[in-house]
Chains A and B, each alone.
Chain A
Amino acid sequence: MQRRSILLLGVMALMLGGMAPAQAASRTVWSGLVIANNVENPEPIPLELNPLEGTLKSLFGYNQFKVIGQSRKPLVSGSEDWLASSKYFSLHVDSKGSNSAGYVLTLKLFQEKNLLLETDAKLSKASPLVIKGPQVGDGQLLLVLVVQ
């Protein structure tokens, strides 16, 4: 009986101790290539950008935001890399590690094979990142990264 008590307590302690890593391992980073422009009948904003709708509209002055390329990457080790790409653009993301605040990322925006922009950022779990890219036609290319 005594042995059973110790076993039960051990299992409970392991379960409680495992809660923190499980929470950390369940994060996903959504990366999107977004074209913002003004049209008469704008399409509804994509679900991933819904929380940012007000900020995007007020910052850039456009009424439509269309995702032309995206990637949803679950981060387990914190050291992964992935690509979000459209027909002409690609965003390469290299995660260099993570801590309790977020992920250290290196982002590279390519227009076909030309490197347009490179940046290192610490992406927080509570704070999305928006990058203003080049003008495309009458609109604007935006890069958006959100930890979900």
Chain B
Amino acid sequence: MKTFEEKWTAWIDGKLSGAELAEFEASLPDKAAAEAEKRDAQKLGTFLKEHLPCAAMGNEDFFNHQLRERIAGDEPAIRDRETTGTGRAWWPIGRLVWVGSTALAIFSVCTFFVMREKAPTDQSQYLTQILNARVDPAVSPNATISMFETQEDKVTVLWVEGLQSLPSEYAHK
């Protein structure tokens, strides 16, 4: 179903015929004005055809060459985008070797500092040390305190004698 504008354009171009032409001309509210407009449009068309011919391209080879170069330049980028994450190697071997050896060097340096920090300078640092100990003389007047370390498993013992004995019910959880 053609719109009025399509029929109007076809009518001006003289492409309507038969029943379609008769039907369209009958639908025009002012046929004389329409005929005048048609003539004006045809005159304008003729005038434009005569006085505005298509500008001929003087440098078409150069333009063609520029286009081809631009297309050729864009092709690798397009291929890269298409293949990213699928087939292309992430890093070349040389760079992987370089990164590997750098990481190894960093690891060695860090290990050295960590080990140096952790290594005790004195054997006594391995052992638990009792800095001081006290009992309330009012509660346990006869209490004595001594301390020692066992040789086999390096247990530090604080040995308190003379604390007040308590009944067995104090052993409950």
- Cα A119 to Cα B159 with chains together (Å): 12
Is B106 within 8 A of A134, CB to CB? no
4 shortest A-B CB distances, which residue pairs? A137-B168, A119-B133, A134-B163, A135-B165
Q: Cβ of A132 and Cβ of B158 under 8 Å apart?
A: yes
Q: Is there an interface contact between A19 and B120, defined as CB atoms closer than 8 Å? A: no
B171 near A35: Cβ-Cβ < 8 Å: yes
Residue A61 lies at the interface, judged by CB distance under 8 Å to chain B: no
Verify B128–A122 contact, CB threshold 8 A.
yes
> Which residues of B are found within 8 Å of A141, using beta-carbon distances?
170-171
Digit string of A117-148 for contact with B (CB within 8 Å is 1, else 0)? 11111111011111111111111010000000
A114 to B135 alpha-carbon distance, docked (Å): 11
Q: How far is the CB of B131 from chain A (nearest CB, A)?
A: 4
Interface residues of A (CB under 8 A from B): 1, 5, 8-9, 12-13, 16-17, 19-20, 35, 37, 51-52, 54-55, 59, 66, 68-69, 86-89, 100-102, 104, 111, 114-124, 126-139, 141
A86–B163 touching, CB < 8 Å: no
B127 within 8 A of A: yes
Interface residues on chain B, number (Cβ under 8 Å): 50
**Bound CA–CA A52/B152 (angstroms):** 10
A16 to B114, CA, bound (A): 10
Is there an interface contact between A9 and B102, defined as CB atoms closer than 8 Å? yes
Q: B157 near A116 (CB under 8 angstroms)?
A: no
Check B128 against A116 for contact (C-beta < 8 Å).
no
B residues less than 8 Å from A133 (CB atoms)? 160, 163
> Whole-angstrom distance from the CB of A143 to the nearest CB of chain B?
8
